[in-house]
Structure 1
Amino acid sequence: MKAVFIIPADPLWRSPPEAFVLGRDEVHVWRATLDQPKSQSESFLPTLAADERTRAEQFYFETHRERFIVARGVLRAILGCYLNRAPECLTFCYGAHGKPALAGDADLDTIRFNVSHSHGVALYVVTRGREVGIDLERICFDLKVMEIAERFFSRREVAMLQTLPPGMQRQAFFRCWTRKEAYIKARGEGLSLPLDQFDVSLVSGESEIALGIQRDPFEASRWSLRELPAATDYVAALAVEGHGWRLACLQWPDPGR
C-alpha cells in the first residue's frame, strides 16, 4: 500500500476564486495534494503533451508516475484557468537550465510560473510580468545537515548554523536551502550560480527574508524572498522579482477526499 499524504486544513490556504484574475501586483501560490485516486490521474493524462506522457512512463514506481501525472495535470489546469485556454492546448518551453515557461508568450504581461513538489505535496506560483521561483522540501531527519551546509552554503550561513543549538539546526538548514533554491530558480540559472556565492537569512517568521550578494548589491535589491508555511514537516520559500506585490495562497480542490 502506498503512503498517502493528506494536507491538513489551514486558514492561510483559501479556496479558489470563481474567476481567475491575476493583476501585475499579485502573486498567487497554489498548493495541491499529489496522492489522488487512479481516476484523477487518468483524467489528467489526456491533457499532457506527448513528451510528458513519455516521461511519466519512465518512472519505475507507480506512486512516482501517478504523482508526476497529477502534478503536470494540475499545473496545466491552473494555467489554463488564468489564460482561458484548454489545458491540453498549452505548450511549454524551457530555459538553458530547465526553467519552464509558456511557449509563444513574450509580452510584458506574460504569465510567469514556477513549480516545486516533494513527497506528495506540490506548490505552484503564478505571476504576471515578474520572474518567480519556488522551492518546497520535506524535512529529512536522517540527513547530515552540517556536512552538507559546509560543502554548499556560504561561510556566513555556515557560521549562523553553527551558533544554533543542535535541535534547531535541521529546521534552519532547510529554511536556508529552500530560500537559496527559490532564488536560483527565479533567476533561471540552476546550479550554474553556486550556492556559496550569496547569502540568505535563516530566521523563521520574517515578513521579508534578507538576501545578500556581495559582488552585486543591486541584484539583491531586485528580489523579494518570503517564507511559506506549506505543511507540517515541510519548508518552503518564494522568490519574486520586484517589491510591492500582494500574495494570495490558494488550495487546489482535492476530489480524492
Structure 2
Amino acid sequence: MNWLPAPTDLSLLPDEVHVWRIHLDIAESQLEEFAATLSSDELTRANRFYFPEHRKRFIAGRGSLRSILGGYLGIEAQQVKFDYQPRGKPVLAEGLQHSGLLFNLSHSQNLALCAVNYHRLIGVDLEYLRDISDVEALAKRFFLPQEYDVVRSLPENQKQKTFSRYWTCKEAYLKATGDGISQLEQIEIALTPTEPARLKTLPDWSLLELVPDHNYVAALAVAGCGWQLKCWQY
C-alpha cells in the first residue's frame, strides 16, 4: 500500500475517502505544540494515563486529528470542537457539522489511522499483531460459527493474524455505525488467508483491508460504494 506525502493544497472531493497514517512517537517539541491545541477535557484525559508513553501517544493522536480536520475545515487546530456520542465516539460539534465532514480514528501501539470523508458513515480499526492466548476460544465466543470454523481450521502460524483480520473488519463497521462490541456477532465477514475480506449480507457497505505497516492489520468500512481512496502519511 502506497502512503503518499500529504499535499500542500489539501482538498477532499465528495466521492473520495482519505486515510491518514500517523506515527505517534514524536519529538517533545511537536508534542508540546499538539498539547497547546487540545481542549481542557482532552488534557484531563491525557493526564489520567499512568504510563508517560500512553499519555504522549494520546496527545499525538488527538493533536494530529485536530490538525488534519482543521486542514479540511480551513480553521486552526484548536478551533476544532467535538461532541461525543453515547459510546464515546467523537464527532464534529454542532457548529461544524454543516461541513458534512465525517471521520474516525484508531490507534494501536505507536501508530494511528484517521479516515475522513464527506457525508458517508465511516469507521477504521487498527490492530498491532501480538500473541493472543486462547485465540480459538475468543473466536468461538465473539465470531459466527462459520468464522470460528475458518480460524480453527488454519495452521497455528495463521490463526492469530486471521483472528485479528476478522476483529478489525467487524470493529471498523461497528465504529462507523456507532454500535458497541456486543454486536460483533451480528456482522458476518467472509475472508481467507489469501483472499481479502468482504461484508456479507450488507450490500450497501464497502469494506477494505489496509496494510498500514509491518505487523499491523487494519480495515476501513464506508457506507455506500463508488468512492475513491487516497492514503496520506501525516
Structure-2 residue corresponding to 1:255:
none
So what's the TM-score if we normalise by structure 2? 0.95
Counterparts of residues 1-257 of structure 1 (less than 5 Å): 12-104=2-94, 105-107=96-98, 110-192=100-182, 194-204=183-193, 206=195, 209-212=197-200, 217=201, 220-252=202-234
The structural deviation recorded for 1:142 is: 4.2
Question: Displaced runs of 4+ in structure 1, greater than 6 A?
Answer: none
The structural deviation recorded for 1:204 is: 5.0
The structural deviation recorded for 1:160 is: 1.4
Across the aligned residues of Structure 1 and Structure 2, the Cα RMSD in angstroms comes to 1.4
The Cα offsets for residues 13-62 of structure 1, whole Å up to 9 and x where unpaired, read as: 00001111111110000001100121111111110001001111111111
8 Å CA contact retained: 2:106, 2:112: yes
C-alpha distance in 2 between matches for 1:177 and 1:118? 14
Residue 225 of structure 1: SS of its match in structure 2? strand
| AA in 1 matched with 2:206 | S
CA shift in 2, pair 1:90/1:106, >3 Å: closer
Residue 44 of structure 1: SS of its match in structure 2? helix
C-alpha distance in 2 between matches for 1:46 and 1:242? 37
| AA in 1 matched with 2:105 | V
Structure-2 residue corresponding to 1:5:
none
C-alpha distance in 2 between matches for 1:103 and 1:67? 23
Residue 134 of structure 1: SS of its match in structure 2? strand
Aligned length: 233
| AA in 2 matched with 1:203 | T
* Structure (1/2) with the larger strand percentage: 2
Residue 93 of structure 1: SS of its match in structure 2? strand
| AA in 1 matched with 2:205 | W
C-alpha distance in 2 between matches for 1:150 and 1:142? 14
C-alpha distance in 2 between matches for 1:117 and 1:180? 16
8 Å CA contact retained: 2:124, 2:221: yes
So what's the TM-score if we normalise by structure 1? 0.87
The structural deviation recorded for 1:222 is: 1.4
CA shift in 2, pair 1:45/1:15, >3 Å: same
C-alpha distance in 2 between matches for 1:156 and 1:163? 11
The Cα offsets for residues 156-177 of structure 1, whole Å up to 9 and x where unpaired, read as: 1001112222221111111101
C-alpha distance in 2 between matches for 1:145 and 1:26? 36
8 Å CA contact retained: 1:206, 1:227: no
8 Å CA contact retained: 2:115, 2:122: yes
C-alpha distance in 1 between matches for 2:199 and 2:121? 16
C-alpha distance in 2 between matches for 1:106 and 1:15? 28
The structural deviation recorded for 1:189 is: 1.2
